[in-house]
Amino acid sequence: MSFEGGSYDRALTRAVEHAREWLDSVPDRPVRPQRSAADLLAGFGGPLPDRPTAPEDVVDLLATLADPGLMAMQSGRFFGWVIGGTLPAALAADWLVSAWDQNCGLRYATPAAAAAEEAAAAWLLDLLGLPAGAGVGFVTGATMANFAGLAAARSSVLSRSGWDLGRDGLNGGPRIHVLAGAERHDTIDLALRYLGLGAPQPVAADDQGRIRVTALAESLEAVDRDAPVIVCLQAGNVHSGAFDPLAEAIEIAHRHGAWVHVDGAFGLWAAATPALRGLTAGLEAADSWATDAHKTLNVPYDCGIAIVSDPLAMRSALGVRASYLIAEESGPGDPQDRVPELSRRARGVPVWAALRSLGRTGVAELVEGLASHARTMAEGIAAVEGAHVINDVVYTQICVSFGDDARTRAVTARLIDDGTAWMSGSRWHGQDVLRVSVSNWSTDDEDVRRSVDAVRRAVEATTV
């Protein structure tokens, strides 16, 4: 196909210019978007033009239409949900991934992508202290990393019970008992739903959301010794940042023959720093792990990482065989053996670039910096009249109440409207909270100071 202006040059040049303008604007623009999706739709929508438009004009139009509706998630003062920014090397690598346009399911077909991802995988296992031969798959996020780990768990525990999931499916097979902490992330339930395993049996958690080991032991005792069992643990509670007592919990679960999956969407990275590694003690003994690179590692969306200690369990749960696919039958296998989809972008390449750019000490500094800014932020907010930090700030997450729920909601709304910083609201332990997640590499002392000031202003503005 050819049409006027159908070359890459001008379109890419304009894209670089718009990207630069956007990045330059991030430190000073309001963090919140200025227009709603409904407002923006009029510009994006309307009837599809009959005639082609030059690519560079499309790029200009896109940048202009999108600008007022962009959330400055890359801002050092964005603290919503658990969302990282973008390291320069990772962003640039991600552009190359799009330019190369490798469909990287097969090692034979896309060797550069496979090699970069395999190298990144080896570095990750080393940094996180996980078994060197584990299977590593680059998925869209921790949701799918949980799915992939639990898919391997499902077929493996059934196979140990003498049931062939691949051949016979779930119908008529032994019931799999899934136990998970009461404060597991909701995507564990979602992954289990996708896998046809139903809701997990909740195990009591303590005041920080950590699974209670005694309750886990009691729940396991109540399960038939020969039944297939999966235990889901957590490294990093989305509200408190707390870590389950992994060493003890994994030991007990294994004693009962269970497969242990750890959701460490952002918390797994604590293992990469000497200062915080103690939070994840015992982590390496689990059977599968889920984490995100688009959170703590600060690569662009999207990138999650599924890790399974037994690569064959991962491959038999996820891999696809077809006559037209040239499979790697020996060696590390194909990238598609380690993710739920056959076709995908080479999203492990920005991970390689981020790790190569930071180095081992850079990763440790990044993670420690986030935790240290979280502590400073918590101290600053706690000093604001009427603010109560209600969790132990052990990692990157802070929950704040401003007295009653209505007041907490009012302060949150006012803070977001102010535009200096962005923090999300939530409900935790029966009360409304302002949630702060320090996950952006670029957050500095000044961002923390300005954000605490913004909280103070929001409190003052809502004081009656």
Q: Contact residues for ligand PLP (CB under 6 A)?
A: 81-82, 141-143, 185, 187, 236, 238, 263, 265-266, 292, 304
Provide the minimum distance between the beta carbon of 345 and ligand PLP in the complex, in angstroms, as a whole number. 16
Q: Looking at the DSSP assignment, which residues form a beta bridge with residue 307?
A: 136, 289
Token readout for 398 is 């802070």
Q: Which is nearer to ligand PLP, 379 or 392 (CB)?
A: 392
Phi, psi of 361 (to 5 degrees): -70, -35
Provide the minimum distance between the beta carbon of 266 and ligand PLP in the complex, in angstroms, as a whole number. 6
Coil, helix or strand at residue 229: strand
Q: Which is nearer to ligand PLP, 91 or 458 (CB)?
A: 91
**Do residues 352 and 117 lie in contact, with contact meaning Cβ atoms separated by under 8 Å?**
yes
Q: Which is nearer to ligand PLP, 137 or 332 (CB)?
A: 137
Residue for token pair 């932020």? 377
By DSSP bridging, strand 177-181 and strand 229-234 are parallel
Provide the minimum distance between the beta carbon of 171 and ligand PLP in the complex, in angstroms, as a whole number. 29
CA dihedral sign, ordered 324, 101, 70, 92: positive
Provide the minimum distance between the beta carbon of 238 and ligand PLP in the complex, in angstroms, as a whole number. 4
Alpha-carbon gap, residue 460 to 63, rounded angstroms: 37
Nearest to 390 by CA among 368, 410, 405: 405
Residue number of the CB atom closest to ligand PLP = 141
Distance of CA 43 to the CA centre of its chain: 32
Provide the minimum distance between the beta carbon of 390 and ligand PLP in the complex, in angstroms, as a whole number. 18
Residues in the chain: 464
Token readout for 103 is 């469909």
Provide the minimum distance between the beta carbon of 181 and ligand PLP in the complex, in angstroms, as a whole number. 11
Q: Which is nearer to ligand PLP, 158 or 366 (CB)?
A: 366
Q: Which is nearer to ligand PLP, 26 or 238 (CB)?
A: 238
Q: Which is nearer to ligand PLP, 80 or 380 (CB)?
A: 80
Q: Which residues contact 184 (CB under 8 A, 6 or more apart)?
A: 200, 202, 232, 234, 263
Q: Which is nearer to ligand PLP, 142 or 448 (CB)?
A: 142
Q: Which is nearer to ligand PLP, 11 or 270 (CB)?
A: 270
Provide the minimum distance between the beta carbon of 358 and ligand PLP in the complex, in angstroms, as a whole number. 20
Token readout for 129 is 């202290």
Provide the minimum distance between the beta carbon of 270 and ligand PLP in the complex, in angstroms, as a whole number. 13
> First and final CA of the chain: distance in angstroms?
65
Amino acid found at 341: E
Task: Count the neighbouring beta carbons within 10 Å of the beta carbon of residue 6.
Answer: 11
Q: Which is nearer to ligand PLP, 187 or 288 (CB)?
A: 187
Alpha-carbon gap, residue 125 to 357, rounded angstroms: 17
- CA distance readout (Å), 374 to 67, 229, 297, 420, 439: 29, 37, 16, 17, 9
Provide the minimum distance between the beta carbon of 412 and ligand PLP in the complex, in angstroms, as a whole number. 18
Provide the minimum distance between the beta carbon of 434 and ligand PLP in the complex, in angstroms, as a whole number. 17
Q: Which is nearer to ligand PLP, 143 or 309 (CB)?
A: 143
Nearest to 146 by CA among 288, 253, 279, 267: 288
Alpha-carbon gap, residue 308 to 151, rounded angstroms: 10
